[in-house]
Structure 1
């Protein structure tokens, strides 16, 4: 929770985080000297996987940690036989959007007023990637 609350102005609740640690969810994490510095939470929905949350402690941001986590999410999804990957990202989060595009995700839609913000609500960009036999291509 400490990494989640340090990264997000509107973090998930402890109950939400706890509910995403089993069942149809999977996760990955990076530690440095036994301290959690980044994690992701993925969800399995039939043949599709969704990146629900990806978070890097502020002191470790812009150092490639998110790229490692995203690469792991994609690899785990491929190994599990996922067909499509999805995620939502704040429209204002240009760094994350660039990372997702680098990995092969493409914009497929907008979710109006999806995220809470200090000034009301902010749109989410829905992004997707199709996985085919171990190679990545955009939807």
Structure 2
């Protein structure tokens, strides 16, 4: 029986030099992607922004903002060709650990109700819906609501 080897993944703080690659993934995934300015501003503001690479290839990234004892996951994305390989879970784990280390007791995020893959991942990690932001996201036909999800970080150690 042979062991399955997971690819070596390297997580590095996102730099301005990474933004072109990040934008390529963002624009491939979403009809209404974040802009270059969103990423540049996040890096300049000192948000926890990380890129994950396998053999030099950017496979995913996240942007996390701290606010006192609460963290807000602003963006988490995995390249389309690298989805369903466990990278989303690795990114989410990194974001949770970073939030905890920064003193957060909870992690918040918004997600489109139509993003079933993301919802399944978040629910698997114990996120619970705490609200709805009406007409939050642009959509092909008007606007789409956002589900507001919360994860209590203390539950990770329970």
Both structures adopt the same fold (TM-score exceeding 0.5):
yes
Residues 60-99 of structure 1, C-alpha deviation per residue, up to 9 Å, x if partnerless? 0111111110011011111222111100000111111110
CA distance in 1, matches of 2:155, 2:88: 24
Indicate conservation of the 8 Å contact 1:78/1:134, yes or no. Answer: no
Structure 2: which 5+ residue stretches go unaligned?
1-22
Larger radius of gyration, structure 1 or 2? 2
SS in 2 for 1:10: coil
* Equivalent residue in structure 1 for 2:60, among 25, 35, 38: 38
Q: Hey, which bits of structure 1, 4+ residues long, moved more than 4 A?
A: none
C-alpha displacement of 1:133? 8.1
Distance 1:113-1:15 versus aligned 2 partners, 3 A rule: same
Structure 1 residues 68 and 58: alpha-carbon distance in aligned structure 2, compared to 1, 3 A threshold: same
| 1:129 matched residue in structure 2 | 151
Q: Larger % of strand: which? A: 1
Higher helix share: 2
- Out of 69, 75, 89, which is 2:97 matched to? 75
Partner of residue 48, structure 1 = 70
Distance 2:124 2:155 in 1: 19
Aligned residues: 136
What is the CA RMSD across the aligned residues, in angstroms? Answer: 1.5
Of 37, 60, 65, the residue aligned with 1:15 is: 37
- Report what 1:105 is aligned to: 127
TM-score by length of 1: 0.91
